[in-house]
Amino acid sequence: MVDFYDAADGPAAFLSIPGGRLEGEDAARVFAAAAALGGELSVTARGRLLLRSVGDVEALRAAWREHGSRHRVLATPRSAAALSHAREIARLLDDAGLPRTLTVGIDDGTGDVATQRLHALLTTDVSPAEALARIVGAGPAHRRSPGPVTPPIGWLPLEDGRVDLAGVLPLGIFPPRLAELLAALARPVTLTPWRSLIIHDLPEGDADAAVRILAPWGVVFDAGSPWLKVTSCVGRPGCAHALSDVRADAARLASAGPAERVHLIGCARGCGRPSGHFLEYEAHAEGEYETAYRGM
Ligand code: SF4
């Protein structure tokens, strides 16, 4: 299930993957299609894949059709229970034929997904069927908790000696050859709502090689990086509403080393806001911004 819309730089496509996780062969197919059929690939503040400047809409629709849900179902990264719930709840929501698209979070008790803007927050101690009944019966409602906002990052050892490798993508943007590399690796990959990705179950040597390739491409493995504090919407030239090139301005802010979390937007629509408390820069003209605190 792929959502398309017309952007200033051509057709764009969103893919919502339950729990954000693609298994190896699925990851290979999804990223190979992205590399072959579109332009810039990114991960959004809802953990969705966004492919811009799609060259062949029907070919991408066919390639991605089996891999997404109509609804955005987030899950605590690296939690098998949350992922299993997310997949089942996404399936139930899709089958239920609800009149609108929902954003639902499955938190395993960590409190990370609870910080997200959601229609409904569910926990793994509630069965997927009961969870669906609660969403449909009581109506969706969730107040965000202030909780942690730092995503899993860096070298994350597993009990069997393998490694999960987690990197933040500055502004959510995949470096030009990353989709191709992920397609070739064919390893499980999780996309997170913190604009990061996790490559799972890598032998140590492969993880070490991946870091050597990805770090020079700009993927962030350091929890102290300013890129964990700076986000933005698309801005100019990709969005026709934008009053400034917010990504370029965000890069300048990141290189200056911001003292607090900031989010830049190109107009009052306020796309891509992160969770938690942050200082928002809203463009009113090229390079000119007004600021206000947002979030909890
Ligand atoms: S906030 Fe405005 S400029 Fe930024 S992506 Fe949304 S509509 Fe475009």
Please indicate whether residue 166, judged by its CB atom, sits closer than 6 Å to ligand 1: no
Cα of 95 vs centre of ligand 1, distance in Å, is 32
Per-residue pLDDT band for 143 (boundaries 50, 70, 90) equals: confident
pLDDT of residue 277: 87
Cα of 282 vs centre of ligand 1, distance in Å, is 10
CATH classification for the domain delimited by 229-294, as one of 3.30.413.10, 3.30.1330.30, 3.40.50.2300, 1.10.3720.10: 3.30.413.10
Per-residue pLDDT band for 142 (boundaries 50, 70, 90) equals: confident
Instruction: Report, as an integer, the average pLDDT of 233-262.
Output: 95
Cα of 244 vs centre of ligand 1, distance in Å, is 10
Class of residue 235 by CB neighbours under 10 A (exposed 0-12, middle 13-18, buried 19+): buried
**103-107/72-75 β-pairing:** parallel
DSSP 8-state symbol, 143: P
Please indicate whether residue 241, judged by its CB atom, sits closer than 6 Å to ligand 1: yes
CB neighbours of 60 closer than 8 A, spacing ≥ 6? 2, 13, 33, 37, 38, 51, 54
CATH of domain 1-225: 3.90.480.10
pLDDT of 296 higher than 80: no
Please indicate whether residue 284, judged by its CB atom, sits closer than 6 Å to ligand 1: no
Mutate-to-test residue for ligand 1 from 42, 44, 271, highest number of ligand atoms within 8 A of CB: 271
Cα of 211 vs centre of ligand 1, distance in Å, is 33
pLDDT of 140 higher than 70: no
Give tens-digit pLDDT for 149-177. 788 999 999 999 999 999 999 999 999 99
Angle at 174 between CA 168 and CA 178, to 5 degrees: 105
Average pLDDT of every residue of the chain: 94
Q: Which atom of ligand 1 is nearest to the CA of 240?
A: 8
Rounded to an integer, what distance in angstroms lies between the CA atom of residue 133 and that of residue 131? 5
Question: H-type helices in the chain, by residue range?
Answer: 24-37, 57-64, 80-96, 128-138, 178-185, 204-217, 246-256
Please indicate whether residue 267, judged by its CB atom, sits closer than 6 Å to ligand 1: yes
Q: Which atom of ligand 1 is nearest to the CA of 234?
A: 5
Cα of 179 vs centre of ligand 1, distance in Å, is 25
* Alpha carbon nearest to ligand 1 atom 6, residue: 271
Peptide bond into 188 cis (omega under 30): no
Q: Where are the domains of the chain?
A: 1-225, 229-294
Q: For residue 169, which of 225, 208, 115 has the smallest C-alpha distance?
A: 225
Please indicate whether residue 269, judged by its CB atom, sits closer than 6 Å to ligand 1: yes
Per-residue pLDDT band for 147 (boundaries 50, 70, 90) equals: low
Considering only CA atoms, give the Rg of the chain: 18
Please indicate whether residue 238, judged by its CB atom, sits closer than 6 Å to ligand 1: no
With a threshold of 0.85, does the pTM exceed it? yes
Please indicate whether residue 70, judged by its CB atom, sits closer than 6 Å to ligand 1: no
Inter-residue contact 187 to 197 (CB < 8 Å): no
